[in-house]
Amino acid sequence: MGPTDMFRLDGKVAFIPGGSGGIGSTLAAGVCEAGAQVAVVDRDGDGLARTCSRMREAGSQPLAIAADLTRKEDADRAVVETVDHFGRLDIVINAIGGGAGKVLFDAEDYPVPEWDWIFDLNLRTTLLATQAAVRAMIEGGQGGKVVNISSVRGQLGINAGYSAYVAAKGAIDSLTRQWATEWAKHGITVNAISPTFVDTPQVAMLLDDPDFKAAIVNRVPLGRVGETRDLLGPVLLFCSEASAFVTGQILTIDGGLTATQ
């Protein structure tokens, strides 16, 4: 096996919750390019259809699964459909989440309904999708790869009303280490990426404000916000044999932002 072959995913099946989102759709197309077969799972039916038709135009044959992954029965069904269709499940990339900028409140007044919404969107979806996928990996007996999407907010506070989001992403970081510890005996590695701002529809409105964008860019040593493609290399690393002896790690993808803190 040549050194770059270690990053190939031929013969592997990737299960991607949030696979038609801003980040998820780039990752779904990218792991296909690297040789994997992909189940794209999302509750947005139109986005799912658009993402999968773009992937088909590029020559891939994704399985589209409409599901709400805050619901255990949907998560379990999505995994069953994936294994029925492809015969196995090797990789889960958890790309559901976000919402941070929509619900900003002072920490002392952070309202419970918004707290629960952020936790459901970021943590419950990751929990239910991963539990279902990992049960299939354990049953398959061939190991597996879990990749979580956290955020630099899992590590850094910000003076701007983000209590629920930082808590949910901090929990994703902790679960990454906990799951890595518990599932190593099954040959399953668990790692996370932690991006700063990535140019996606979810943050487009914020980045459209030139002053806001300049303030972000000025804090980032590499002098720009992230692009979804910036996440693909690290995700391929964590999905592939190139990271065979790496587990429980959180890789920050932030143009050097946290290095300055």
**Total residue count of the chain as it appears in this document:** 261
Q: Which of 37, 125, 163, 247 binds ligand NAD (CB under 6 A)?
A: 125
Q: Is 147 in the site for ligand NAD (CB under 6 A)?
A: no
C-alpha 172/C-alpha 121 separation (Å) is 12
Q: Is 95 in the site for ligand NAD (CB under 6 A)?
A: yes
C-alpha 172/C-alpha 96 separation (Å) is 12
Segment interacting with ligand NAD (CB under 6 A) among 68-76, 135-143, 184-192, 237-245: 68-76
Minimal distance, residue 163 CB to ligand NAD, in Å: 15
Q: Is 98 in the site for ligand NAD (CB under 6 A)?
A: yes
Does the active-site annotation cover 110?
Answer: no
Nearer Cβ to ligand NAD, position 151 or 176?
151
Q: Which of 15, 86, 162, 197 binds ligand NAD (CB under 6 A)?
A: 197
Q: Is 208 in the site for ligand NAD (CB under 6 A)?
A: no
Nearer Cβ to ligand NAD, position 130 or 200?
200
Minimal distance, residue 195 CB to ligand NAD, in Å: 4
Q: Is 243 in the site for ligand NAD (CB under 6 A)?
A: no
Q: Are 177 and 246 within 8 A, CB to CB?
A: no
User: Which residue in 86, 119, 162, 165 is the catalytic one?
Assistant: 165
Active site residue ranges: 165
- Site residues, ligand NAD (CB under 6 A): 17-18, 20-24, 42-44, 47, 67-70, 95-98, 121-122, 125, 149, 151, 195, 197-198, 200-203
